[in-house]
Amino acid sequence: MPEGQKEGAAGAKPKSARAKSADGAGKSRYDFVEGDRYAPAPESSDHVSLRDSYQLFIGGEWVRAPRRIETINPATGEVLAEVGEAGPRMVDRAVAAARQAYEKTWSEMPGRERGKYLFRLARLIQERAREFAVVETMDGGKPIRESRDIDLPLVAAHFFYYAGWADKLDYAFPGRRARPLGVVGQVIPWNFPLLMAAWKLAPALACGNTVVLKPAETTPLTALKLAELIEEAGFPPGVVNVITGAGKTGQNLVRHPDVDKVAFTGSTAVGKLIQKDLAGTGRRFTLELGGKAANIIFDDAPVNQAVEGIVNGIFFNQGHVCCAGSRLFVQEGIADTVVRKLKRRMETLVLGDPLDKNTDVGAINSQEQLERIRVLVDSGREEGARCWQSGQKLPRKGFWFKPTIFTECAQSHGIVQKEIFGPVLAIQTFRTPEEAVEKANNTPYGLSGGVWTDKGSKIFKITSQIRAGVLWANTFNKFDPASPFGGYKESGIGREGGLQGLAPYVELR
């Protein structure tokens, strides 16, 4: 890091005004550092409808929770809105509403009718995609290019995909009869707030379950706006309930005795707590947890393409990605070339206003996450790995961290073993394919991985030896609703997406 530059949060005082991204003159209103390569191209937030205060969505009504929490824009520190914090009584009420909707309407409704609601919701999402993308970026800090071109299209695609399955469950499970499970409690993280909501809601609803969804405390807004669309789509009251709050609210939901199935996406630490909570209850659960993916570059790989894949693997969404390629293994003969090209590419990344369409690297989601990244990066330096950061200037307000790489890493280093969940890459070298596989598998996680080589046979050989749920070859971070996603080992239990994503939401008779 250049002298005098500090990563991080400048103590911007939250204001209770709603954030706007740009003035009419095309110049950011905030004090973002302007790059010298492109003129600012901020996406307007004038068209966004955001309330100052949101209630809980329970039984088709907006219910006020007495306790309130604020959600801020991590790029500016400004308060965007306040939302309710659901206590045990509100959790009870939401579960009861979901139970009633399950018994009275949703589970008995023919699949083709349920599918119509889901198709309607998917179309409404497409119509409002621009607005939702802006809110996702403001609440979470991710670049608008990503929310607009990746999150929102995938959200709509997920609802379309599972809408199609709603009346075809007999074909999904030939010779068996698929029955819904009942009330599902779903708890999601902050890195892909709306996409995680879609991954959870779409298959559960298609199968005839009703849902209580709890979004993460730092990014509740798109889930609440989704509840508005669910209302607009005319879903029967109680089929989907959205309650906001922090970990305690999530805990009350997953422990609720009338919840038949729990679907959780979040950290491995919390996943383990939930597994303990549910042990012996007979209730079903799926856990989508952390990761520490190996991205393996062989010396016959197309190097420039691989460098793009490395950048996408670790700097997409500031590295707040469970399947991020956070461990890089480069074959020794090309290691110097790859690292040199990677550094040069990192210098070209545009870091700043997440609402600017040029931005590649947005804000870190919260002060807490920024602290966690700093602690782990400091530990990497202390353990003897060599740290290099690109030279972008950091905005003065909000939470930021520079794209960072470590070389000279050992397998035992904390930065190699622990999920950092930030724009930080640990680089190691290998000589033989066997060594690459051994190092790649030396992790408690098993969510994803990538292999870069010119040889198709090597792709099949290596990917079959890596213990990870999702593996990409000569690409990275590609998602499709028809493709299952999930991990081995401490990365979780169960699959979401595709035909496999239906199975956790049905009982087969």
Taking the C-alpha atoms of residue 502 and residue 163, their distance in angstroms, rounded to an integer, is: 12
In degrees rounded to 5, what are phi and psi of residue 508?
Answer: -100, 130
Nearest to 426 by CA among 437, 418, 436: 418
Residues in the chain: 509
Which residue in 94, 322, 338, 451 binds ligand NAD (CB under 6 A)?
322
Q: Which residue is nearest to ligand NAD (CB)?
A: 250
Question: In the block, which residue shows the tokens 């009861």?
Answer: 96
Which residue in 289, 306, 311, 342 binds ligand NAD (CB under 6 A)?
289
When the beta carbons of 106 and 505 are compared against ligand NAD, the nearer one is 505
Find the shortest distance in angstroms from Cβ 500 to ligand NAD: 13
Residue span binding ligand NAD (CB under 6 A) among the ranges 36-44, 270-278, 458-466, 474-482: 270-278
Instruction: Decide if 230 contacts 202 (C-beta within 8 A).
Output: no
Find the shortest distance in angstroms from Cβ 283 to ligand NAD: 14
Find the shortest distance in angstroms from Cβ 36 to ligand NAD: 34
Instruction: Decide if 467 contacts 441 (C-beta within 8 A).
Output: yes
When the beta carbons of 215 and 395 are compared against ligand NAD, the nearer one is 215
Nearest to 386 by CA among 414, 422, 427: 427
Check residue 219 for interaction with ligand NAD (CB under 6 A): no
Is 288 annotated in the active site?
yes
Could you give the angle at the alpha carbon of 172 between the alpha carbons of 166 and 176, nearest 5°?
Answer: 105
Find the shortest distance in angstroms from Cβ 496 to ligand NAD: 7
When the beta carbons of 237 and 247 are compared against ligand NAD, the nearer one is 247
Residue span binding ligand NAD (CB under 6 A) among the ranges 2-10, 122-130, 289-297, 376-384: 289-297
The DSSP string of 154-175 is HHHHHHHHHHHHTT-HHHHSTT
Taking the C-alpha atoms of residue 299 and residue 263, their distance in angstroms, rounded to an integer, is: 41
Check residue 203 for interaction with ligand NAD (CB under 6 A): no
Check residue 274 for interaction with ligand NAD (CB under 6 A): yes
Q: Which residues pair with 507 in a beta bridge?
A: 179
Which residue in 129, 172, 273, 473 binds ligand NAD (CB under 6 A)?
273
When the beta carbons of 248 and 357 are compared against ligand NAD, the nearer one is 248
Residue span binding ligand NAD (CB under 6 A) among the ranges 9-17, 37-45, 286-294, 476-484: 286-294
Rounded to an integer, what is the distance from CA 106 to the centroid of its chain? Answer: 28
In degrees rounded to 5, what are phi and psi of residue 446?
Answer: -160, 55
Which residue in 10, 41, 172, 246 binds ligand NAD (CB under 6 A)?
246
Residue span binding ligand NAD (CB under 6 A) among the ranges 20-28, 121-129, 159-167, 244-252: 244-252
- 464 burial via Cβ count (<10 Å: 0-12, 13-18, 19+): exposed
For residue 333, what is the DSSP state?
A: G
- Pairing state of beta strands 240-242 and 210-214? parallel
Reported as type and span, the H/E element at residue 63 is: strand 61-63
Find the shortest distance in angstroms from Cβ 255 to ligand NAD: 8
Check residue 247 for interaction with ligand NAD (CB under 6 A): yes
Taking the C-alpha atoms of residue 220 and residue 223, their distance in angstroms, rounded to an integer, is: 6
Q: Which of 43, 136, 322, 490 is catalytic?
A: 322
When the beta carbons of 400 and 485 are compared against ligand NAD, the nearer one is 485
Is 322 annotated in the active site?
yes
Within 151-190, the residues that bind ligand NAD by CB under 6 A are: 187-190
Taking the C-alpha atoms of residue 213 and residue 223, their distance in angstroms, rounded to an integer, is: 9
Could you give the angle at the alpha carbon of 422 between the alpha carbons of 420 and 425, nearest 5°?
Answer: 75
Taking the CA atoms of 336, 361, 384 and 452 in sequence, report the sign of the dihedral they define: negative
Q: Which of 78, 85, 136, 288 is catalytic?
A: 288
Find the shortest distance in angstroms from Cβ 42 to ligand NAD: 28
Which residue in 270, 301, 409, 462 binds ligand NAD (CB under 6 A)?
270
Nearest to 53 by CA among 61, 62, 45: 62
When the beta carbons of 318 and 491 are compared against ligand NAD, the nearer one is 491
- Residues that bind ligand NAD (rule: CB under 6 A) add up to a total of 30
Within 471-500, the residues that bind ligand NAD by CB under 6 A are: 487, 491-492
- Pairing state of beta strands 61-63 and 56-58? antiparallel
First and final CA of the chain: distance in angstroms?
A: 60
Structure tokens at 287: 């856990």
Check residue 288 for interaction with ligand NAD (CB under 6 A): yes
Find the shortest distance in angstroms from Cβ 418 to ligand NAD: 10
Strands (E), 392-479: 404-407, 424-430, 445-446, 448-452, 470-473
Which residue in 86, 133, 216, 506 binds ligand NAD (CB under 6 A)?
216
Which residue in 42, 143, 290, 398 binds ligand NAD (CB under 6 A)?
290
Instruction: Decide if 360 contacts 351 (C-beta within 8 A).
Output: yes
Could you give the angle at the alpha carbon of 356 between the alpha carbons of 354 and 358, nearest 5°?
Answer: 105
Residue span binding ligand NAD (CB under 6 A) among the ranges 42-50, 212-220, 343-351, 470-478: 212-220
When the beta carbons of 136 and 356 are compared against ligand NAD, the nearer one is 136
- x/- mask, ligand NAD, residues 422-451, rule CB under 6 A, reads -------------------------x----
Find the shortest distance in angstroms from Cβ 458 to ligand NAD: 27
Binding site for ligand NAD (CB under 6 A): 187-191, 214, 216-217, 246-247, 250-251, 254, 265-267, 270, 273-274, 288-291, 322, 419, 421, 447, 487, 491-492
* Residues catalogued as catalytic: 288, 322
